[in-house]
Structure 1
Amino acid sequence: MSIIAMPPGDVDVMFQTSKRMLNVGLRGMRDDCAFSLDGVARTPSTLHPNGVDLLAAGVDFSFFGHSLDWELLIEFNTDDIEQFAREHLDGLDLSARDLVSGTDPQAATLARLAIAHLKEPVVDRLYLEGLTTAITARALAFAARDKRAPSTGGTDARIQRAIDYIHAHLVDGMSISEIAGVACMSPSWFSRAFKAQTGTSVHKYVLGCRLERAQIALLTTNEPIGAIAHGFGFADHAHFSRLFKRRYGITPKEMRG
């Protein structure tokens, strides 16, 4: 999966999509724009505020216009999005759909958070994957509004296996896809099941575990605070201190003192 934040401005493109793509437009386009799929004029939702469009792979795509705001573009690996779709579309074939569209303020809000995070100097993969997973789920809901999401029940053993993996790899750079693979679940299903059974998201759970482990290191070792922050996956000393104080009410330096 690749995630791109595209700035506002003039757009003039023509190509064939090699992978399935999801586009979220925050404020839409000016009226003087043209869009076509396989040579046929279409009106995608991203021409309007809070628009969400999911394009199929192998489609001839052309667009000319002016974007009024930032947009979020997500490009998927074929196998990943097809598995994601099978869960959300209850077995329907996503490959037969050349355009899945809708307008969704909640997806746009999630896209704004993702775009803001992509502008940061250091990107948290877990946080970003969580946002894009939620956006993708909402986009697929347009294709199956009357379908029920797969049950998250009966997965306690899988979730526990994932939790054990998280604790064993806290110092490593983990992704939701990687953790979900340990549970033998897709990222979307795993994210829902994990929150249903733990009451929190994967990202918040991992962050909490890292802060707890860092707290122990502060109290039981003489390792520099910056080294502890880096060792448990925090971007830098300041980032670590900010999150630590938010959780414990004091800074790492104050706790060690």
Structure 2
Amino acid sequence: MQPRVDHPPPLPENVLSLSLMQRAWNGVGVDACEYRCAGRVLHHMGYETHARLNVVLEEVGSPCEPRLRENLPCAVDHKPRHMFVAPAGLELWGYSADARFVKDATLLFDLATLRERLAAELDADAIATPRMRFADDRLWTLVRLLADAVNDPDPSTQLYGDGLTAAIVARLFAATPESTAVVQGLAAWQLRRVVEYLDAHLPGRVELARLAELAGLSQSHFSRAFKASTGMAPYRWQLDARIRRAQALLVDTQASLEEVAERTGFADAVHFGRTFRRLVGATPAAWRRDRKS
């Protein structure tokens, strides 16, 4: 997906500042924005070249409102955690009578890439039909997690975001609902091939599309089957494998924490230490000391 912001447009009236972070996963571009405002805001929302989902993650002040026309109020009442879906070509405006702070996420869908990567048929009616100001708690949570990951440089964030975007697209546009039948795990050859690939590429980024291809499955089917086989989502398995490699380095070498962090794909020793403690229950230094004493 091509970059979407070459030269940021002038800020709308009463918008004091705008923070924008962008990333793409799996044929889905994600724009996570924070606006600081002081009064009435009315602005053209853009993004018409794509089908898109916009989710309001936080709003302080008067509620935000999507509009089909600048001066035509939205016909749908405000709901907490509201969002809208708009097809490509549909112009929209955002309005608030008295905004103070707004955080939202806009997901832009490259439909051709999604059909290819997810190996799934998408519901043409769902893609072409605007849905204004609706609420879906599961979808809201998935988008919030995705927005929080936009600026995370950790290699496992690739698989994490791939999985989230696949789940979001399935919930919005799947032509047929996902089966509620008991999920079968991967065949032994499938699991072996995927694990060997993950091990060979540690600690670098790996795409969910590639793992699903190795197993000969769609991304959503692969993710469910992998979790059924291992008890973990693919991104969590990769993160745990990096921590296991770090534990081996801590026990078998004299490498500093900074060196261990670098060799296992963490941005720095602080990030490594925080993740290690969350997953293992002790700091790397304490864990090493206990096993070498």
TM-score where L is the length of structure 2: 0.68
Higher helix share: 1
Contact 2:208 2:219 in 1 (8 A): yes
Instruction: Give the equivalent residue in structure 1 for 2:277.
Output: 245
Instruction: Give the equivalent residue in structure 2 for 1:7.
Output: 34
Which of the numbers 88, 93, 115 marks the counterpart of 1:63?
Answer: 93
Instruction: Give the equivalent residue in structure 1 for 2:115.
Output: 82
Q: Secondary structure at the match of 2:102?
A: coil
Letter in 2 for 1:5: A
Shift of residue 244, structure 1, vs aligned partner: 2.0
Letter in 2 for 1:226: E
Structure 1 residues 168, 105: CA separation in 2 closer, same or farther (over 3 Å shift)?
Answer: same
Q: Name which one, 1 or 2, has greater alpha-carbon Rg.
A: 2
Q: Does 1:108 align with 2:140?
A: yes
Contact 2:32 2:106 in 1 (8 A): yes
Instruction: Give the equivalent residue in structure 2 for 1:183.
Output: 215
Letter in 2 for 1:97: A
Q: Secondary structure at the match of 1:61?
A: coil
CA distance in 2, matches of 1:5, 1:210: 28
Q: Secondary structure at the match of 2:91?
A: strand
* Identical aligned residues as a percent: 27
CA distance in 2, matches of 1:97, 1:162: 36
Instruction: Give the equivalent residue in structure 2 for 1:136.
Output: 169
Q: Secondary structure at the match of 1:65?
A: strand
Higher strand share: 2
Q: Deviations over 1:130-163 (max 9, x none)?
A: 333333333336x75xx34497547424344222
Structure 1 residues 153, 201: CA separation in 2 closer, same or farther (over 3 Å shift)?
Answer: same
Any gaps of 5 or more consecutive residues in structure 1? none
Shift of residue 216, structure 1, vs aligned partner: 1.0
CA distance in 2, matches of 1:76, 1:158: 30
Which of the numbers 230, 235, 242 marks the counterpart of 1:198?
Answer: 230
Q: Does 1:126 align with 2:156?
A: no
Structure 1 residues 245, 14: CA separation in 2 closer, same or farther (over 3 Å shift)?
Answer: closer
Contact 1:24 1:51 in 2 (8 A): yes
Number of aligned residue pairs: give it: 248
Aligned Cα root-mean-square deviation (Å): 3.6
Q: Deviations over 1:174-214 (max 9, x none)?
A: 23233333334343332222222222111211111111111
Letter in 2 for 1:224: S
CA distance in 1, matches of 2:224, 2:90: 34
TM-score where L is the length of structure 1: 0.76
Q: Does 1:73 align with 2:92?
A: no
CA distance in 2, matches of 1:244, 1:129: 23
Letter in 1 for 2:111: T
CA distance in 1, matches of 2:150, 2:52: 18
CA distance in 2, matches of 1:6, 1:246: 28
